[in-house]
């Protein structure tokens, strides 16, 4: 197992399969009121440069339930917010804590933290990737479908950081993925090329073509954190990329629908779909807790 979790590519297929199995076991044990104390006497720093509901809460609860102490550190309340070097922060925090979870604007901040820390660093979202999200997504697909290999995932909308991690995760785990996005909203080109070298990835423009015979439909907000200044333009450009009943109809009859949340209902997904019988969105959100707990156990213990 690797030291840091900066990209979903830091994990092999076997690593991810093992994490999903561990997360399933931890989920079952939690239901039965049984908790591992694997992080007893360990503190985990959680640096957030951006807002979060699921990632922060799931990590705080996971660390607490494992017997450890989650230390939430808002970027602007740290000296980082006044310009202290990321490398110095990494070296100092490594003297206090057993691991660092970081959500940052720039992916380079996460990699700099990881290369200077002597404790494990976990990417809790950057502008390039959201690998923790994909662990929960893969667990959810596995729970609902009983397998990952040879499933087809269709990503509808903005080719953002979550889309990048989805493309890489599908390539690693043997799912095919079709991305439908308008010109100018494609996922990272290097990510696509890396994934295409080992897996089946297509970047298309037509939502119905991408959704055809899909086992999983996935979307995310059209206006990610940092995109607020161009929100109106993005909303116009992406208006045809909504998961609605027509897109759902193009997928397999038993398709599931994922959204990493927060959702903008009526934009990238309709109420009817996100609240409908195909939606696995709440299970997906819950699985953030179990997969992050499994990740912490593997990295920090």
Distance between CA atoms of 71 and 16, rounded to whole angstroms? 26
CA 47 to chain centre: 17
Q: Which residue stretches of 122-188 are H helix?
A: 131-145, 161-173
Nearer to ligand CP, 94 or 155 (CB): 155
Residue 259 known to be catalytic: no
User: Can you tell me which of 16, 19, 39, 55 binds ligand CP, judged by CB under 6 A?
Assistant: 55
Burial pattern 164-188, b for ≥16 Cβ within 10 A else e, equals bbbbbbbbbbebbbbbbbbeebbbb
Which positions from 255 to 274 touch ligand CP by CB under 6 A, shown as an x/- string? -----xx-------------
Q: Examine residue 299 and tell whether it contacts ligand CP (CB under 6 A).
A: no
Residue-level length of the chain: 301
Residue 239 to residue 161: CA distance in whole angstroms: 19
Which of 181, 242, 260, 267 does the annotation list as catalytic?
A: 260
Active site residue 260: yes
List binders of ligand CP among 211-250 (CB under 6 A): none
Query: Does 133 help bind ligand CP (rule: CB under 6 A)?
Result: yes
Site string for ligand CP, 137-176 (x = CB under 6 A): ----------------------------------------
Q: Which of 206, 189, 194, 205 is nearest to 169 (CA)?
A: 194
Residue 61 within binding range of ligand CP, rule CB under 6 A: no
C-alpha span between 54 and 41 (Å, rounded): 24
The active-site residue, picked from 107, 133, 178, 290, is: 133
| Distance in Å, CB of 249 to ligand CP, minimum | 26
Residues that bind ligand CP (CB under 6 A): 52-55, 125, 133, 260-261
């Amino acid at each position: 197992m690797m030291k840091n979790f900066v990209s979903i590519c830091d994990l092999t297929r076997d690593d991810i399969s093992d994490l999903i199995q561990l997360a399933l076991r931890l989920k079952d044990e939690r239901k039965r009121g049984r908790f591992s104390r694997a992080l007893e006497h360990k503190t985990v720093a959680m640096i957030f440069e951006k807002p979060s509901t699921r990632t922060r809460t799931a990590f705080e609860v996971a660390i607490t339930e494992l017997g450890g102490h989650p230390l939430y550190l808002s970027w602007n309340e740290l000296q980082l917010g006044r310009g202290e070097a990321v490398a110095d922060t990494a070296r100092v925090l490594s003297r206090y804590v057993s691991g660092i979870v970081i959500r940052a604007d720039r992916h380079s901040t996460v990699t700099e933290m990881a290369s200077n820390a002597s404790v494990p660093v976990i990417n809790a979202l950057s502008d390039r990737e959201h690998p923790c999200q994909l662990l929960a997504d893969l667990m959810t697909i596995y729970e609902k479908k009983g397998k990952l290999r040879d499933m087809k995932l269709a990503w509808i909308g903005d080719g953002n950081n979550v889309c990048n991690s989805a493309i890489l995760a599908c390539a690693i785990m043997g799912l095919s993925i079709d991305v439908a996005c308008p010109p100018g909203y494609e996922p990272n080109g290097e990510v696509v090329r890396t994934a295409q070298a080992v897996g089946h990835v297509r970047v298309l423009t037509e939502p119905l073509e991408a959704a055809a015979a899909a086992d999983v439909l996935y979307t995310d907000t059209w206006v990610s954190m940092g995109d607020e200044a161009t929100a109106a333009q993005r909303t116009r450009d992406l208006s045809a990329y909504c998961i609605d009943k027509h897109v759902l109809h193009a997928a397999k009859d038993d398709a599931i629908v994922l959204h990493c949340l927060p959702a903008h209902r009526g934009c990238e997904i309709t109420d009817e779909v996100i609240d409908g019988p195909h939606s696995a969105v709440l299970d997906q959100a819950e699985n953030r807790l179990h997969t992050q707990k499994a990740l912490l156990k593997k990295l920090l213990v």
